[in-house]
């Protein structure tokens, strides 16, 4: 018997986005809709499974967890990058790790990122427009019988500050140009030439926060970017400016941002990512009326889900055939164990 687990299917759609009937008769598929953060509970749940699909970074797989799952032979992550997975530990333990892509066969992580990153860009603009045009406030007011309670802010002539000008940052710049915004950008490795290619002006970090009407975060989370936006940067922002983060929660000092919003030191913020996900019921974010929240929806669109779940099925079938695909740690393949066998 081959046991397969799909984790964190919050929307209960995993069975809809792939033809799981293609699995062989000896394979059983179990889909979990709830989220477990306690490691002991995760071990209890997953100890008997041969293959596990992790949806993005919803459930981390550190070494401490992997070492307690001796039956695990195949771990599949949606997308082609996952910072919450200890790939080195998986390799040492003989666990094959695969990713998924929108392309049928991904030749590189960069190739894949170009396809599904547009959904994050789209959501970022949704948050920006919701903030500047007070969409949430006006929706609630209209339902309550009120009419035109706020005055919005237009985009033309305003300054968009891009903290990071990679693939998503470049897409943000393309849209900002259509809105006739001024675009400034900064990151630790950004060059004047790269900024110019994207229609942006390279400025120093302080200038970006000081001049921008909207600051949008698009850097990869790492040791150099954790806490990159803190109290000092927020203090430079105009009281009429907004911050939007669709990258990773820890890039922004949440305590500092919470304080700035509570004091109305900045006009508002749009957040799709958080240090703890899902947000706890008593999250202080919920008390703020100058904040638009979404539950990490940047990648959550139908085309991505078809890719994630469809490629997961494809990866499982390929593993069973002895030719694993989209493997992140090919050095482990000579030690690959058949699914359904004892450790």
Percent of the chain with pLDDT over 90: 89
pLDDT of residue 326: 93
In order of 18, 87, 172, 309, the CA distances from 339 in angstroms are 20, 19, 43, 19
Rounded to two decimals, the pTM is 0.89
Query: Which whole number is the average pLDDT over 313-317?
Result: 97
Q: Which of 134, 248, 325, 326 is catalytic?
A: 248
C-alpha of 327 from chain center: 21
pLDDT digit string (tens) for 103-112?
444 444 444 4
Per-residue pLDDT at 39: 97
Residue with tokens 């430079």: 236
Three-state SS letters, 283-337: CHHHHCCCEEECCCCCCCCHHHHHHHHHHHHHHHHHHHHCCCCCECCHHHHHHCC
Active-site residue among 122, 210, 277, 337?
277
- The C-alpha atoms of residue 72 and residue 50 are separated, in whole angstroms, by 5
Domains, the chain, in order of start with CATH, read 2-108+302-335 (3.40.50.720), 117-293 (3.40.50.720)
Considering only residues 337 and 50, tell me which one the structure prediction assigns the higher pLDDT: 50
> SS3 of 111, please?
helix
Tokens at 236, concatenated: 């430079």
Q: Determine which one of 3, 56, 158, 296 is catalytic.
A: 296
Predicted pLDDT of residue 197: 96
Establish whether 248 is a catalytic residue. yes
Q: What is the pLDDT of residues 98-156, one digit of tens each?
A: 999 754 444 444 444 445 679 999 999 999 999 999 999 999 999 999 999 999 999 99
Is a pLDDT exceeding 50 seen at residue 261? Answer: yes
């Amino acid at each position: 018997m081959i046991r397969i687990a799909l984790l964190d299917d919050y929307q209960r759609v995993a069975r809809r986005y792939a033809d799981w009937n293609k699995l062989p008769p000896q394979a059983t598929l179990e889909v979990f809709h709830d989220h477990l953060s306690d490691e002991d509970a995760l071990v209890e749940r997953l100890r008997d499974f041969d293959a596990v699909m992790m949806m993005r970074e919803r459930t981390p797989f550190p070494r401490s967890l992997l070492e307690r799952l001796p039956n695990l032979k195949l771990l599949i992550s949606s997308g082609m990058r996952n910072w919450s997975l200890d790939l080195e530990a998986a390799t040492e333990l003989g666990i094959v790790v695969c990713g998924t892509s929108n392309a049928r066969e991904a030749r590189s992580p960069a190739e894949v990122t170009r396809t599904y990153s547009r959904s994050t860009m789209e959501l970022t603009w949704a948050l920006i427009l919701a903030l500047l045009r007070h969409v949430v406030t006006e929706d609630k007011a209209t339902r309550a019988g009120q009419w035109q309670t706020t005055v919005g802010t237009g985009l033309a002539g305003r300054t968009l500050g891009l903290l990071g000008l990679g693939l998503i940052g470049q897409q943000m710049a393309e849209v900002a140009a259509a809105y006739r915004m001024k675009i400034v950008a900064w990151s630790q490795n950004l060059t004047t030439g790269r900024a110019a290619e994207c229609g942006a002006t390279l400025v120093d970090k302080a200038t970006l926060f000081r001049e921008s009407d909207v600051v949008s975060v698009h850097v990869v989370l790492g040791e150099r970017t954790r806490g990159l936006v803190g109290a000092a940067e927020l203090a430079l922002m105009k009281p009429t400016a907004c911050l939007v983060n669709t990258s990773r929660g820890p890039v922004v000092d949440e305590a500092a941002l919470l304080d700035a919003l509570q004091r109305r030191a900045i006009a508002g913020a749009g957040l799709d990512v958080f240090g703890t996900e899902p947000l706890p019921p008593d999250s202080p974010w919920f008390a703020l009326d100058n904040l638009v929240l979404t539950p990490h929806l940047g990648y959550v669109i139908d085309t991505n889900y078809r890719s994630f779940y469809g490629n997961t099925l494809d990866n499982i079938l390929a593993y069973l055939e002895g030719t694993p695909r989209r493997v992140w740690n090919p050095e482990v393949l000579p030690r690959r164990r058949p699914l359904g066998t004892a450790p």
